[in-house]
Amino acid sequence: MEKAANRVLLAFKSWEDRKKEIEPLLKAGTIDVTVLSRLQLDHLRLAAHRLRSTARPDEKPFMLLLNNQIIRLEKQLFPNLLRRIFSQLKDRLFDGPAYLKKDQLQRDNNMATLKVQLKEAGLGSFAGRLEQHLDQDQKNIRVPLDCQLGPEKRVSLDLHFEKDPYGNFQLNRIGGSLVQNGKITKAQEFELSDWPNLKTNQIWSLLEGRAMKQQYTDASGHENHRWVELGPNGVQHYDPAHAFDIKTALAGMPAIIRNKEELTRYLENGQQIPTYWKQGKQYQNIYVQADPANRCIKLLDDKLRPITAEKLNQNLARQGFKVKTLDTTAQKTRRRVKNGQHQ
């Protein structure tokens, strides 16, 4: 487990980052040292308000440094004692509470929006603990998650959150890796700006080597769809003109028994679906998945081994022959018993 960051030190660091952005204005004479000091005081006062009641035991010694720096800046900016006391009272009684109320409302709205996004992505079980992971004093946060698929197999996800210019956290990127027997077999980073509405089961499908139909915005700004999969060199997109339509492919394979609309939706989502192959009155368990490279539906037997339609029909024919033989024998036996003949 990663060690929790010291938020007091983060407050100092964030000021130094902000100061670097302001320094060109200072050199150009747009602002002076007094304005810079006032901005620093406001920044540290807000940090003190956030941390005063929530500082952890390991952070409390550093709160002394924060408070001392605030006092030093107050003396520098307000050398007059009465003006200094007035500024302190205004900060403590009015500015601080107003800031905390506004900050809490913004954070609540931000968390609510992210929880909806995570739930839609298939991460609803994690969303309830979101506040514990997103420290508002940090700009970039990585949250690791593991999804166990079996005794020796799992999908590891890294959720990357980043603060936008308005101070709200956004889920910008998801890193995914497929781990088999403790070794990573495939990994990929998904920028959500390029993968709108990406779901965790789609990440799993892509890492397993299956293709999915992806929504994207084309060069003209219109919503479009294309097939995509992870190849040896990373993401492989098929041209939208690539003629592969799931509904057409399924219509050409009537032996696949399942609701076609439901099956189309699952296959376009990149999933591997259990269903049946039917010939006459005989059924066989199979799995199917989309195969845009070969413009077909990929067939797998009940042990997930690739199989052809011809082989499936041959298997069912053999099963039907065995059933027919048994039925014929049974009929002969029944006739002999009826005629009083016993073997």
pLDDT tens by residue, 102-113: 999 999 999 999
Cβ 272 vs Cβ 265: under 8 Å: no
The answer for 335, left when phi > 0, alpha when psi is -120 to 50, beta otherwise, is alpha
Average pLDDT over residues 223-238: 88
Question: What are residue 288's DSSP bridge partners?
Answer: 273, 299
Residues sharing a CB contact under 8 Å with residue 233, sequence separation 6 or more, in sequence order? none
Cβ atoms 131, 115 nearer than 8 A: no
Q: What is the DSSP letter of 80?
A: S
With a CB cutoff of 8 Å and minimum separation 6, the contacts of 94 are none
The pLDDT of residue 27 is 86
Q: Is the pLDDT of residue 177 over 70?
A: yes
> Is 261's pLDDT higher than 70?
yes
Counting DSSP H helices and E strands in the chain, the numbers are 11, 11
pLDDT of 172 over the 50 cut = yes
Give tens-digit pLDDT for 19-36: 999 999 888 888 889 999
CA distance 52 to 44: 12
- Calculate the CA 177 to chain-centre distance: 12
Tokens of 93: 């009684």
The residue-averaged pLDDT of 166-183 equals 94
Chain Cα centroid distance, residue 77: 47
Query: Quick one: pLDDT at residue 209?
Result: 92
- Considering the chain, what percentage of its residues have pLDDT values greater than 90? 68
Evaluate whether 110 touches 168 at the Cβ level (below 8 Å): yes
Q: Is residue 324's pLDDT more than 50? A: no
pLDDT, greater one: 177 or 321: 177
| Model pLDDT, residue 155 | 93
- CA 323/CA 305 separation, integer angstroms: 25
Work out the pLDDT band at 84, boundaries 50, 70, 90. Answer: very high
Q: What is the pLDDT of residue 327?
A: 41
Q: What is the pLDDT of residue 233?
A: 83
Residues in the chain, overall count: 343
Average pLDDT of the residues in 38-67: 94
Measuring CA to CA, how many Å separate 114 from each of 130, 169, 198?
9, 8, 14
